[in-house]
Amino acid sequence: MSTFDDARRGALIGARLDNWLLYNSSALNSQDPSTGLTLLATAVVSGFPNQVEQLLERGAKANLRCRKGETPLLLAAWKTTMERPLIVQMLLSYVPKESIDDTCSEANNNTPLMCAIERLDVESVRLLTKAGARLHIKNDDGFDAVEVATNTGKPLLRNALYPEKEQSYLARLASNVISFGRHVISWLDNKFHGFMSKKFGFKGERHRSAEKKLKAMKPGPQEPTPQEFIKHVDTYVKETPALEVFFKDNKEFIQDLAKKTVDLANDPTTDLGSPEILPKTIKVTMHQQVIYCDDSSSMVNKKGTAEKRWENQKALALRISRTTTRILPDGEGVALRFINQTTNESPSLDLEGIGRALNSVYPQGDTAIGTTLRERILKPLVYNPLAAGTLRRPLLVSILTDGGPMPEAKGMLASVIVECGNELVRKGYPRDCVKFLIAQVGSSKEAVDFLDTLRDNPDIASVSHIFAGRFDDKLKSYRDERKLDRWLVKTLFKPLAAAEAKKEG
Beta strands per DSSP E along 339-420 = 395-401
The pLDDT of residue 274: 80
Residue from 282, 267, 286, 236 nearest 170 by CA: 267
Nearest to 414 by CA among 366, 472, 456, 382: 456
- Measured CA to CA, the distance from residue 24 to residue 18 in angstroms comes to 10
Alpha-carbon distances of 303 from 342, 402, 488, rounded to whole Å: 28, 17, 32
Distance CA 95, CA 62 (A): 5
- Which pLDDT does position 123 carry in this prediction? 83
Q: Do the Cβ atoms of 245 and 431 come closer than 8 Å?
A: no
**What residue ranges do the domains of the chain occupy?**
3-161, 164-238, 288-293+363-505
pLDDT at 363: 92
36's CB contacts (< 8 A; 6+ apart) are: 66, 67, 68
Which distant-in-sequence residues (6+ apart) come within 8 Å of 488 by Cβ?
319, 320, 323, 475
Per DSSP, 276 falls in state: T
Please give the C-alpha separations between residue 444 and each of 94, 305, 405, 465, in angstroms, as whole numbers.
Answer: 40, 11, 12, 19
Nearest to 19 by CA among 8, 6, 36: 6
Q: What is the pLDDT of residue 117?
A: 95
pLDDT tens for the chain, 505 residues long, are 789 998 998 888 888 898 999 999 899 999 999 999 999 999 999 988 889 989 999 999 999 999 999 999 999 999 998 888 889 988 998 999 999 999 999 999 999 999 999 999 888 998 899 899 999 999 999 999 999 999 988 888 888 898 766 554 444 444 444 444 444 555 555 555 555 455 444 445 454 544 554 454 444 334 333 333 333 333 444 455 666 667 666 666 766 676 677 677 767 778 887 878 887 888 888 899 999 999 999 898 654 456 789 999 999 999 999 999 887 887 889 999 999 999 988 999 988 889 899 999 999 999 999 999 999 999 999 999 999 988 988 999 999 999 899 899 989 999 999 999 999 999 999 899 999 999 999 888 889 999 999 988 999 999 999 998 899 888 888 878 888 889 999 999 999 887 666 554 4
- What residue type is assigned to position 305 of the chain? T
**DSSP letters for 208-253:** HHHHHHHHHHS-TT-PPPHHHHHHHSGGG---SHHHHHHHSS-HHH
How far apart, in whole angstroms, are the C-alpha atoms of residue 327 and residue 70? 33
Omega within 30 of 0 (cis) for the link into 363? no
Does residue 73 contact residue 33 with C-beta atoms inside 8 Å?
no
Task: For the domain made up of 3-161, give the CATH fold.
Answer: 1.25.40
Question: Taking the alpha carbons of 292, 295, 300, 302 in that order, is the dihedral positive or negative?
Answer: negative
Q: What is the pLDDT of residues 122-177, one digit of tens each?
A: 889 988 998 999 999 999 999 999 999 999 888 888 888 987 665 544 444 444 44
The answer to whether the predicted template modeling score (pTM) of the entire model surpasses 0.75 is: no
Asked if 403 contacts 444 with a C-beta cutoff of 8 angstroms, the reply is: yes
Q: How far is CA 119 from the centre of its chain?
A: 20
Alpha-carbon dihedral sign for residues 449, 450, 453, 458? negative
